[in-house]
Homo-oligomer: A and B are copies of this chain.
Amino acid sequence: MLYGALEAGGTKMICAVGNESGQILDQVIIPTTTPDETMPKVIEYFKSKLDDSLPDDEKIQGLGIACFGPVDVREGSKTYGNILNTPKIAWRNFPMLKTLKDALGDIPMGFDTNVNCSLLGEATWGSAKGLNDAVYITIGIGIGMGAISGGNPIHGMLHPEAGHLMMSRVPGDDYKGHCPSHGACFEGMACGLAIEERWGKPARELGDRPEVWELEAKYIAQAITDILLILSPQKIILGGGVMNHAPLFPLVRKYVLEYVNEYIDTKELRNINSFIAPAALNGYQGVMGAIKLAESAAAE
């Protein structure tokens, strides 16, 4: 069976076709500019995968949409499938799901945040395979979190926005923070843009400055400590460009254990190297999660 997958990100749209094993068989990348420019190309791609001239087994059976947020993921809501108050003005209140439904007709569609989809991909085929309670944090230009509890993505009134967790300032750190809404929140202190503003160079040019990564690890570990105290996940996966600086992992693990201070005694925390781990799907976790979302929608 073939499924369509759309990973709608702030800079690019990845349109793909994959199968029930998560294999990606075809993919095109379309820049995210404005809905008027971008969406016709996205629609054209998926229309070509639904064309009547195709044999049935070469047509996609559903579409999964992994969308940048904030988005309305509450099924039954009047604005279900819309992008909400994003700083990307052109996309504010854009009805992503409705636009695709109107254009592609009556095929099953699933819709979630890109970070929930990344976790869905990792929980189906990757680093969190088989787990029911897990967290995915992406630390790149911005910071986002997806989570599953009891096997299902966490939505609630909106969806997790843990990039904006409140932080306790590390003593001696007087950086004002990069977040326009909160200043020194998690994203404000630890995202890629914050690293660049604080140290005057992008993260990739700071590999030889251990103090950069000590400080970065302390903020990431604070956020992880709060997340594990609230969600009690079986695993926390860290992805995104900043985490490509591999020496961060041991530092983050060290500070999480220091902050938890043996208060939580579980086999997961005793195996900290597997509890706090990188993504396993080589950057394809979002697209693969969207494939899984499509498969689930088609099975309903």
The distance in angstroms between the C-alpha atoms of A262 and B161, with both chains bound, is 13
Q: Does A253 contact B (CB under 8 A)?
A: no
The distance in angstroms between the C-alpha atoms of A147 and B157, with both chains bound, is 14
Mask, A58-98, CB within 8 Å of B = 1, is: 00000000000010000000000000110000000000000
Partner of A231, one of B156, B181, B266: B156
The distance in angstroms between the C-alpha atoms of A230 and B162, with both chains bound, is 5
B156 touches A234 (CB 8 A): yes
Taking the full assembly, how many copies of this chain does it contain?
Answer: 2
B230 touches A157 (CB 8 A): no
Mask, A172-191, CB within 8 Å of B = 1, is: 00000000011000000000
Interface size on A, residues (CB 8 A): 47
Chain B residues closer than 8 Å to A158, beta-carbon distance? 232, 264, 266
Q: Does A49 contact B (CB under 8 A)?
A: no
**30 A-B interface contacts by CB (under 8 A):** A70-B265, A132-B156, A133-B154, A133-B155, A147-B230, A149-B149, A150-B152, A150-B154, A154-B231, A155-B232, A156-B231, A156-B234, A157-B233, A157-B234, A157-B266, A158-B266, A159-B232, A160-B230, A160-B232, A161-B229, A164-B263, A165-B229, A166-B222, A166-B226, A167-B168, A182-B259, A182-B261, A182-B263, A226-B226, A231-B231
Contacts A70-B264, A157-B232, A162-B229 aside, 16 further interface pairs with beta carbons under 8 A come to: A84-B265, A133-B154, A133-B156, A133-B157, A149-B154, A149-B156, A150-B155, A157-B233, A157-B234, A158-B232, A159-B232, A161-B232, A164-B229, A166-B226, A168-B169, A230-B230
